[in-house]
Structure 1
Amino acid sequence: MTWEFSSPLTLLGGWRDRADAADLHELLLLGFTVDLPFLEKTLVPTARVLGARVTVVGDAAQGLYDPVDVRMAGRAYFHGLAACRDGAFHPKLALLIGADDVVAAIGSGNPTMAGWGYNDELWTVLRGRVSHAPEGLHQLGEWLGRLGGVVSMPGYVRELLQEIAARLGEFQVSPHPTRVLGNLDGGLLDRLPSGPVDELRLYAPFVDGNGRALSRIVEHFDPVRVVVGVQERWSSYDGDVILRALGGRDAELRLLPERRPRHGKLLEWESGGSWSALTGSANLTASALLEPAVAGGNCELGVLAPTSASLLPEGVSAPLTRLRGRRTVRPVRARPTLLVLGALLTGTGMLQVTLARPYDIAVTAEVSPDGSPGSWITIGTIAAGTTFQEFAAPEAAGAVVRIVDPRTESHTESPPVFVVHPARCARRRADDDRPTLRHAYAEEEIFTDEELARRFRYDLLRLSDQLAERRTARPGTARTPAASAVHDRWAAYLDECERAVGRPLTLALFGRAGMPDPSPGLRWGVTADITTDDAEEPTDPAGEAAATEMTASQRVAWQRWIARAVSRTVPGEPESPLMVRILVARLFVQLLAHGVWDLTDDSWRGHLARLTGGLMPGRHDDLPVEAVEQARTLTAVCMGLLRSGVALTGGTPADLIAARTWRAVRGVIAEVNAEAAGDLLIPPVLPRAHVLGRSEWEGLLDLAADHDPLAPVVSELAEDGLELEYIDGLHRVTGRFRNPVPVAARIATLLEDHLETALVHAVADGRWAFVAWRRPHLVLAVAPLGNSWRVYRVDQPATPESRLGGEGLPQTGLIGRAVRLGQEPPDIARQVLAQVGIDHVLLLRRLTA
Structure 2
Amino acid sequence: MPDTGPAPAVEAPSALASPLTLILEEERSGRHELEEALFLSFTADFGFFEEIALGVTQATGARVTVVGDVTVTRNDPRSVRRAGRSYLAGLAYVGGPVFHPKLMVLAGPEHATIALGSGNTTLAGWQANAELWTVLRVGGDRSPAAVADLSAWLHDLPEKARFSAGVPQALRRVAKLLDRLHRDRAPVNRHVRIVHSLHSPIIDQLPRGPVDELAVFAPFHDPHAHALRQLVNRFRPNRLTLAYQPGLTDLHGPSVAELVREHGGRIISDNEKRYRHGKLVEWAKGGERWALTGSPNLSAAALLLPQGRGGNCELGLIVPRSTTLLPEGSEEPATQLRAAPALPRPRADGGPLLLGAVRMADGLEVSLARPLTYATRLDLSAAAAPPETWEPVGDVPPGEAIVTVTAPADAGSRVRLVAFDDAGVPSFGNTVFVVDADRVLRRVVPGQSRVPATRPPDLFEDPRLAERFLGDLETLRTALSPAPAAATATGRVPGADAKTRVPDDEGGWESYLDECAGRIGHPLVRFALGVPLPSGTDTPFQDLLTVTWDERFADDVEAALDEDGTEEVAAEQDAEASGTAANAPSLPDLRRAEQQVRRRYRRWVERLVALAPRLDPPERMLVVRLTLWTVAAGAWPPSDTSWLHLLSASLRALVGRDLPDRIEPQVGSLASVALTVLRSHAPRYEVTSETLAFNEASAAVGHLLPAANPTYVAEYASLLEEAFGPTVHPESVLAVAADVVQDDPLDDAVSALAEKGRDAHRHGKLLLHVTGRFNNPGLVALEAVGAAEDAPLIGAWASNGADSSPWALVVWRRPDLIVVDARRPVPLWRHHRLAGLVGPRALAAQRGFESAVSVPHGPRNRPFDLARKVLAELGLSGPHPPVCGR
CA–CA separation in structure 1 for the residues paired with 2:22 and 2:105:
9
Deviation at 1:326, TM superposition (A): 2.1
Gaps of 5+ in 2: 1-11, 452-475, 518-541, 553-613, 615-656, 658-886
Tell me the SS of whatever aligns to 1:24.
coil
Q: Does 1:239 align with 2:253?
A: yes
1:93-492 to 2 correspondence within 5 Å? Answer: 93-129=103-139, 131-172=141-182, 174-176=187-189, 177-246=191-260, 248-346=262-360, 348-370=361-383, 372=386, 374-407=388-421, 409-425=424-440, 426-428=442-444, 446=488, 448-451=490-493, 454=495, 456-457=496-497
Deviations along 1:696-751, one digit per CA (max 9) or x if unpaired, are: xxxxxxxxxxxxxxxxxxxxxxxxxxxxxxxxxxxxxxxxxxxxxxxxxxxxxxxx
CA–CA separation in structure 1 for the residues paired with 2:199 and 2:514:
45
Tell me the SS of whatever aligns to 2:262.
coil
Partner residue in 2 for 1:13:
24
Equivalent position to 2:45, from 21, 26, 35: 35
What letter corresponds to residue 187 of structure 2 in structure 1?
A: S
Question: Contact between 1:234 and 1:258, CA under 8 Å: does it hold in 2?
Answer: no
Question: Contact between 1:275 and 1:307, CA under 8 Å: does it hold in 2?
Answer: yes
Partner residue in 1 for 2:549:
523
CA RMSD of aligned residues (A): 3.6
Question: Contact between 1:424 and 1:495, CA under 8 Å: does it hold in 2?
Answer: no
Deviation at 1:7, TM superposition (A): 0.6
Tell me the SS of whatever aligns to 2:163.
coil
Distance of aligned partners of 1:374 and 1:96 in 2 relative to their CA distance in 1, 3 Å threshold: closer
Distance of aligned partners of 1:302 and 1:442 in 2 relative to their CA distance in 1, 3 Å threshold: same
Distance of aligned partners of 1:89 and 1:410 in 2 relative to their CA distance in 1, 3 Å threshold: farther
Tell me the SS of whatever aligns to 2:232.
helix
Deviations along 1:271-305, one digit per CA (max 9) or x if unpaired, are: 11111111001111101111111112211110011
Question: Contact between 1:382 and 1:389, CA under 8 Å: does it hold in 2?
Answer: yes
What letter corresponds to residue 497 of structure 2 in structure 1?
A: R
CA–CA separation in structure 1 for the residues paired with 2:404 and 2:96:
27
Deviations along 1:764-786, one digit per CA (max 9) or x if unpaired, are: xxxxxxxxxxxxxxxxxxxxxxx
CA–CA separation in structure 1 for the residues paired with 2:297 and 2:208:
19
Tell me the SS of whatever aligns to 1:293.
coil
CA–CA separation in structure 1 for the residues paired with 2:36 and 2:329:
40
Distance of aligned partners of 1:310 and 1:523 in 2 relative to their CA distance in 1, 3 Å threshold: same
CA–CA separation in structure 1 for the residues paired with 2:357 and 2:103:
23
Question: Contact between 1:23 and 1:52, CA under 8 Å: does it hold in 2?
Answer: yes
Deviation at 1:351, TM superposition (A): 1.3
Question: Contact between 2:246 and 2:340, CA under 8 Å: does it hold in 1?
Answer: no
Tell me the SS of whatever aligns to 1:216.
helix
How many pairs does the alignment contain? 488
Tell me the SS of whatever aligns to 2:166.
helix
Question: Contact between 1:366 and 1:378, CA under 8 Å: does it hold in 2?
Answer: yes
Tell me the SS of whatever aligns to 1:303.
strand
Tell me the SS of whatever aligns to 1:354.
strand
Distance of aligned partners of 1:280 and 1:4 in 2 relative to their CA distance in 1, 3 Å threshold: closer
Distance of aligned partners of 1:406 and 1:135 in 2 relative to their CA distance in 1, 3 Å threshold: same
Deviation at 1:155, TM superposition (A): 3.7
Question: Contact between 1:83 and 1:356, CA under 8 Å: does it hold in 2?
Answer: yes
What letter corresponds to residue 100 of structure 1 in structure 2?
A: E
Tell me the SS of whatever aligns to 1:220.
helix
What letter corresponds to residue 10 of structure 1 in structure 2?
A: T
More divergent stretch after superposition (21-30 vs 182-191) = 21-30
Distance of aligned partners of 1:444 and 1:119 in 2 relative to their CA distance in 1, 3 Å threshold: same
CA–CA separation in structure 1 for the residues paired with 2:267 and 2:258:
14
Distance of aligned partners of 1:498 and 1:395 in 2 relative to their CA distance in 1, 3 Å threshold: farther
CA–CA separation in structure 2 for the residues paired with 1:202 and 1:166:
35
Deviation at 1:93, TM superposition (A): 0.8
CA–CA separation in structure 1 for the residues paired with 2:445 and 2:338:
61
Distance of aligned partners of 1:439 and 1:68 in 2 relative to their CA distance in 1, 3 Å threshold: farther
Partner residue in 2 for 1:654:
none
CA–CA separation in structure 2 for the residues paired with 1:194 and 1:221:
5
Partner residue in 1 for 2:461:
none
What letter corresponds to residue 17 of structure 1 in structure 2?
A: R
CA–CA separation in structure 2 for the residues paired with 1:40 and 1:497:
22
Deviations along 1:566-621, one digit per CA (max 9) or x if unpaired, are: xxxxxxxxxxxxxxxxxxxxx9xxxxxxxxxxxxxxxxxxxxxxxxxxxxxxxxxx
CA–CA separation in structure 2 for the residues paired with 1:91 and 1:445:
49
What letter corresponds to residue 141 of structure 1 in structure 2?
A: S
Deviation at 1:498, TM superposition (A): 8.1
Distance of aligned partners of 1:188 and 1:309 in 2 relative to their CA distance in 1, 3 Å threshold: same
Deviation at 1:438, TM superposition (A): 10
CA–CA separation in structure 1 for the residues paired with 2:489 and 2:509:
24
CA–CA separation in structure 2 for the residues paired with 1:4 and 1:313:
11
CA–CA separation in structure 1 for the residues paired with 2:509 and 2:140:
34
CA–CA separation in structure 2 for the residues paired with 1:440 and 1:61:
49
CA–CA separation in structure 2 for the residues paired with 1:170 and 1:493:
32
Distance of aligned partners of 1:519 and 1:423 in 2 relative to their CA distance in 1, 3 Å threshold: farther
Tell me the SS of whatever aligns to 1:302.
strand
Deviation at 1:336, TM superposition (A): 4.2
What letter corresponds to residue 443 of structure 2 in structure 1?
A: R
CA–CA separation in structure 1 for the residues paired with 2:92 and 2:84:
16
Deviation at 1:186, TM superposition (A): 1.3
Question: Contact between 2:489 and 2:499, CA under 8 Å: does it hold in 1?
Answer: no
CA–CA separation in structure 1 for the residues paired with 2:302 and 2:342:
19
CA–CA separation in structure 2 for the residues paired with 1:523 and 1:441:
34
Deviation at 1:50, TM superposition (A): 2.0
Distance of aligned partners of 1:445 and 1:82 in 2 relative to their CA distance in 1, 3 Å threshold: closer
What letter corresponds to residue 70 of structure 1 in structure 2?
A: V
Question: Contact between 1:422 and 1:492, CA under 8 Å: does it hold in 2?
Answer: no
Deviation at 1:443, TM superposition (A): 6.9
Deviation at 1:399, TM superposition (A): 0.3
What letter corresponds to residue 203 of structure 1 in structure 2?
A: F
CA–CA separation in structure 1 for the residues paired with 2:164 and 2:77:
19
Distance of aligned partners of 1:386 and 1:328 in 2 relative to their CA distance in 1, 3 Å threshold: same
1:583-622 to 2 correspondence within 5 Å? Answer: none
Distance of aligned partners of 1:130 and 1:3 in 2 relative to their CA distance in 1, 3 Å threshold: same
CA–CA separation in structure 1 for the residues paired with 2:320 and 2:93:
32
Deviation at 1:63, TM superposition (A): 2.1
Deviations along 1:33-66, one digit per CA (max 9) or x if unpaired, are: 1111111111101111221100000010212421
What letter corresponds to residue 450 of structure 1 in structure 2?
A: R
Deviation at 1:225, TM superposition (A): 1.1
CA–CA separation in structure 2 for the residues paired with 1:156 and 1:169:
20
Q: Does 1:48 align with 2:62?
A: no
Tell me the SS of whatever aligns to 1:328.
coil
CA–CA separation in structure 1 for the residues paired with 2:551 and 2:389:
12
Distance of aligned partners of 1:328 and 1:21 in 2 relative to their CA distance in 1, 3 Å threshold: same
CA–CA separation in structure 2 for the residues paired with 1:496 and 1:261:
43
Deviations along 1:316-354, one digit per CA (max 9) or x if unpaired, are: 1112222123223322233242111111113x2531111
